[in-house]
Structure 1
Amino acid sequence: MLVRNKKFNILSKNLNQAYIEQPTTNNQQPTTSNQQPTAVIDIFFTSIKNPLKENLYEEYLYLLPKDLRERNARFMRWKDRHAHLFGKLLLIEALKKYNIENNIWDLIVYSKHKRPYFTLDEYDFNISHSGDYVLCAIGKNIKLGIDVEENRERNFDDFQNLMTTAQWEEIHSSKTPIKTFYKYWTIKESVIKADGRGFYIPLEELEVENNTVQVDDKRWFINNFALAEGYSTALATNKEVSFKMHELDFYI
């Protein structure tokens, strides 16, 4: 249990209506009595502002088991250590929403492709970080993947072989090529994370059609949204969803 839980609760914000570029479900039709209600995904996020005070960092760190503390220590940059730690703290807080607080680290195992998942089959979670932001998405009776990317300039030619011809042409013809590139990149990343096989899936074969991506016999539903200015985020799920966003601050 987080020692600073009260302060987290005070600082939590329901941002379901904020920063959303498009509706939070792909289905624009209202739900009727004959339609299945969409699942709800909770997305917890935080920002990395500066190095935490040493005593506070240690307080948080010892909420993690020994193997995760040792892994955290192997990161060379302070920001990478904070991103790793904050991702785990977000997961702790996310699980509280589902009344899961005891022995949570014993509930997490890894697939042969190193994808973490719960032994509780009805739940799934995924963590992503980039730049100043860390996110953790969690849901029940759902499979999901999430990816956030800071929209940094880079040599996009290095990634041409990971895009379809149509995607590559759209990137180069776009008035905002950086944003367009990261739109597709986050979609692809979120899908391969949701699928669980990671880069064993050929990215250049992933096409986006009507906010969905087909991988073998599975269809993934895509939600793109802007977490903050200069960032792209995509959520992939195996069914249509709505989602709620919760911001946490670990600095006070």
Structure 2
Amino acid sequence: MRSWNEEPQVSIASAPLGNCWPDALYRHYLQSVPTAFHAKLNAYRNWQDRQRSLIGRLLLAKLLRQYDFPAETLERLTIGRYGKPFIDSGFHFNIAHSADRIVCVASRDIVVGIDIELIRPIDFSDFESVMSPAQWQRIMGSEEPLLEFWRHWTVKEAIAKADGRGIGLPLATISIESAVAMLGENRWHVAELEQWNGYCSFVAGSQPIEPGLIAFETYQFG
């Protein structure tokens, strides 16, 4: 049952990875998602990837219920031309995960993408080619270059996922100016999410996203 007094512009559900579930608990949650997903989930070699993927679908199911879609709606999930999953034209969603955090964003009217990254040490000099000269200068001139790198990378990933073509896009061509980014002729609006300590996260949308109109839901599985 919906708990919103008024439907939000964007809704984001999240959950921690947690510890490895016992087999019985994994099978219990597996039955909550369509059988079409089972083979892919069971094919993961390590429990972390398998559990993250299943939690992502459980979060999607939670949001579908929040938006008053019937339980069987998840059965209609299909894969688009560039590999982005979708359900129908009246609902947009995207799933991301990093380390111990899984997130799912949804909106009825706005095309959305989300990315989250654990802020961790990395030799980001290898990623200069995916930044424009101005973006690279901004990163290297920052008082916290590592954090600034992750912010730029996460924005680009969120936009690439909203666009649907993923990291196959020429990421260096994405221009970022405050809350607006351009990818070719397409304008994307971005908002930074500061809900999770130690992580960098952004949501991208086809329309301006008002931070006060984002509803956050946190779940715990296991």
Taking structure 2 as the reference length, what is the TM-score of the superposition? 0.92
Within the candidate set 167, 170, 190, 1:202 is matched to 170
Q: Does 1:248 align with 2:216?
A: no
Question: How far is 1:39 from its partner?
Answer: 6.2
- Which residue number corresponds to residue 22 of structure 1? none
- Which residue number corresponds to residue 124 of structure 2? 156
- Which residue number corresponds to residue 27 of structure 1? none
Within the candidate set 1, 16, 21, 1:52 is matched to 21
Query: Which segment is superposed worse, 176-185 or 61-70?
Result: 61-70
SS at match of 2:140: helix
- Which residue number corresponds to residue 35 of structure 2? 66
Q: Distance between the aligned counterparts of 2:187 and 2:125, measured in 1?
A: 29
Count of residues in Structure 1 that have an aligned counterpart in Structure 2: 217
Q: Does 1:98 align with 2:67?
A: yes
SS at match of 2:9: strand
Q: CA contact under 8 A between 1:145 and 1:190: conserved in structure 2?
A: yes
Q: Distance between the aligned counterparts of 1:118 and 1:98, measured in 2?
A: 13
SS at match of 1:227: coil
Percent identity at matched positions?
29
Question: How far is 1:134 from its partner?
Answer: 0.3
Q: Which runs of 5+ in 1 are unaligned?
A: 15-37
Q: Distance between the aligned counterparts of 2:117 and 2:137, measured in 1?
A: 21
Q: Distance between the aligned counterparts of 1:213 and 1:68, measured in 2?
A: 34
Larger RCO (CA within 8 A; separation ≥ 6): 1
- Which residue number corresponds to residue 135 of structure 1? 103
Alignment-mate amino acid for residue 105 of structure 1: L
Question: RMSD of the TM alignment (CA)?
Answer: 2.0
- Which residue number corresponds to residue 179 of structure 1? 147
Q: Distance between the aligned counterparts of 1:68 and 1:223, measured in 2?
A: 31
SS at match of 1:183: helix
Within the candidate set 93, 118, 125, 1:125 is matched to 93
- Which residue number corresponds to residue 133 of structure 2? 165
